[in-house]
Amino acid sequence: MSCGHEHYEEFFETAKVGQPVRDFTLETFDPAEGGFGSVSLEEIKKQGKWTILVFYPADFTFVCPTELADLAEKHAELVKLGAEVLSVSTDTKFVHMAWKNDERLLKNVKFQMAADPNGEVSRYFDVWDPESGLDLRGTFIISPDGVLVGSEVNFFNVGRNADELVRKMQANVHLRAHPAEACPAKWEPGQKTLTPSEKLVGKVAEALGK
């Protein structure tokens, strides 16, 4: 009875913001190399990189190529910030390859396209929709230490903005180097941050020079 309960808890475990992410491995199609491979969170952490997971419903659909094209435009900036970017769906690596080769919107995609056909990783990040068997539009940022620091989930019909993903990454990189600080709304590099303390209570406007 006890073992069954433990198994139940493990099976339904999901990633939570502020908590360590368990290791996972995904097969990939790598457009930059033109071939298949695999990637694991453990390997990315060993390289001292951030991990960005961009889940989407399915290949050969409609909003999805616009999102991946938008992400491709910001890929170089995210790499410069120290991130490994992975797009993820429940399609196979073979379908990823066919879609990349067919869809002109994906011509500039260089990040690895990860396959989660059994939905295991998608379930762990709580983006898998059991009714359709597809992933919701989930974006997750994992620190080089393996801690989930960012989570955003949209329904199937609302596309994301990679500009905001870059901004969030810039803020997370800054805060990793300055852990006593906090970034206010719309913060961008070079702008004022906040240092929480009793002196700041009720005085945020003054601290931001407003």
Which residues are annotated as catalytic? 64
What's the CA gap between 143 and 45, in Å, rounded? 8
CA end-to-end span of the chain: 60
Which run of H or E residues covers position 207?
helix 204-207
What's the CA gap between 2 and 139, in Å, rounded? 35
**Region of 36 on the Ramachandran plot (φ > 0 left; ψ -120 to 50 alpha; else beta):** beta
* Tokens 């969170």 -> residue: 41
